[in-house]
Structure 1
Amino acid sequence: MAHRLLIGKGMITLNLKRIFLTLTLLPLFAVAADDCALSDPTQTVQAYTVNPQTERVKMYWQKANGEAWGTLHALLADMNSQGQVQMAMNGGIYDESYAPLGLYIENVPGVGNASQLSN
């Protein structure tokens, strides 16, 4: 079954089964070196499992006026006034002006599966 995912200002139709299968298998391919450690021992790694029947995944980059939020605190101050956000994370790599570096798809009708895009 295809679902729609809000990315920025646009909607993209995605096959959630493929996405969740990919996200489930992705950690199996992650290999860490023996000397790999957190640079700050006071920090922890947290995981959050999304229930697609009851929760929605949304990605945000810019405010309605086109300005980037810049920090998670700024995003939550604007978006979480009713306490609906269960989990927030930085989902990308950005330059100094908070423009995304790499693949960012927003408001592109008919894109479908991002893995099928040409380089």
Structure 2
Amino acid sequence: MIRRFAALILLLAGPVQASECREAEYADTPYALCEVDLTQTELRLFLRNKNGDIHGYFSSVNSDLAAEGKKLGFAMNAGMYHEDRAPVGLYLENGTQAQRLITADGPGNFGLLPNGVFCIEKGRAAVIESRAFARQPRECNFASQSGPMLVIDGALHPRFLIDSTSRFIRNGVGVSADGRKATFVISRKPVTFHAFGTVFKDSLKIPNALYFDGNISRIYAPQIGASGLGWQSLGPIVGSVVPAE
């Protein structure tokens, strides 16, 4: 059992290239994860297309990027949204704010404080608790607020229960202590918050991680054959941007 547990950790924590996606397993649960070295790979958030309409789908993002001679390396949904697909909390794209920061508690997963902000800067990223962000804002090029936090300074969210029966497909992001590597994870079968947060905390050893969403979660990752197709349109999308081949 000890040897098997160690092998699973190594599977999740293998060598990192500029951007790499792979399937993995932890505690008998399958996951897909993509690791991005922000010193080598461009990472962006996307909400609206060139006509001002909500992208909604990864194919729409790729259509806009084609005009730049670029494409998505990988992508996933990146935060909660209203029925019109507008972000629930803070959203910044290319330095322009589309939605304000929300620091009050409230209903649903977003209001399960502490929640947090995923911030992308030049060559680095961060996951920051929302009220800490309000006290000391960062100059993010892109930012998406979501919640709850999964891992806060190396500890699981205090309200996660090991014996919870609430299981959903879940996705989120964690950032290394030096800010250079962002790791995006999606479960391949329904999991609890506690189980999902433990992947970031105990296997990936990531100090701060943020939940993006649940049942609607999808990933586009051609490296592992993930098309990201789905009937429901999405709100904010995060993805790596690479040259079109």
TM-score by length of 2: 0.26
Higher helix share: 1
Q: Which has the higher strand share?
A: 2
Relative CO higher for 1 or 2, CA cutoff 8 Å, sep ≥ 6?
1
